[in-house]
Structure 1
């Protein structure tokens, strides 16, 4: 098979990666802020570290889904996931599979990739830039 022919789908698949990652990421925010799905931890105290993380997950995830302000949002969320890994996961064990931080690492690097690569063609950012 000629894999070079798949290159034409790369920009669209970048958008698919952004949308799918953001939708799954948003679930962490809805769990913290809206209580859905229900969590053993319960609702975080307003202005606590977990509440701020939940707001960033919910709002940032929604912005990435629609592709609005994608690069700055992806950069902020990448940083959020790096902080989450090193403060919440790494202290319990040095192996990501053992400390539950593998998702945080993946989100960190997916969002960092989106920051550098852009949101792909299926986004509001592209629509707004065409109008200008």
Structure 2
């Protein structure tokens, strides 16, 4: 699941950074669209390979939630009316991955990285 989610999520970054599909442009550097594309490609790649997966997944869940509330709710609150269903699904999937962990096929598992536990 981690690999499939990371691959599909990273496609959004490629579209944002190499040309906006809806506008036909390349975003200006340091705009919100450009910054979200950079975060998505960087953290999506880290999640794909399972590097710092729990922290990265939590950050991406926040980014997906921000995307929903800043971009999609302008057209209405309900996800089926404002095209925000995918942002909500990504947010929930990233929250799940932040709790479940990266799985056996990850850099975290190979290196033996474990989440910090409270003493």
TM-score, normalised to structure 1's length?
A: 0.81
* Equivalent residue in structure 2 for 1:40, among 22, 25, 36: 22
In angstroms, what is the RMSD of aligned CA positions?
1.2
Higher helix share: 1
For 1:52, the equivalent position in structure 2 comes to 35
Alpha-carbon deviation of 1:97?
Answer: 1.1
Report which of the two structures shows the higher radius of gyration computed on alpha carbons: 1
> Is the counterpart of residue 117 in structure 1 residue 100 in structure 2?
yes
For 1:94, the equivalent position in structure 2 comes to 77
Aligned residues: 112
For residues 73 and 56 of structure 2, the distance between their equivalents in structure 1, rounded to whole angstroms, comes to 24
SS of alignment partner, residue 104 of structure 2: coil
Unaligned runs of 5+ in 2: 114-119
> Is the counterpart of residue 20 in structure 1 residue 21 in structure 2?
no
SS of alignment partner, residue 33 of structure 1: helix
Displaced runs of 4+ in structure 1, greater than 4 A? none
Alpha-carbon deviation of 1:129?
Answer: 1.1
Unaligned runs of 5+ in 1: 1-16
> Is the counterpart of residue 76 in structure 1 residue 59 in structure 2?
yes
For 1:13, the equivalent position in structure 2 comes to none
Give the structure, 1 or 2, with the largest relative contact order (CA under 8 Å, sep 6 or more): 1
TM-score, normalised to structure 2's length?
A: 0.89
For 1:30, the equivalent position in structure 2 comes to 14
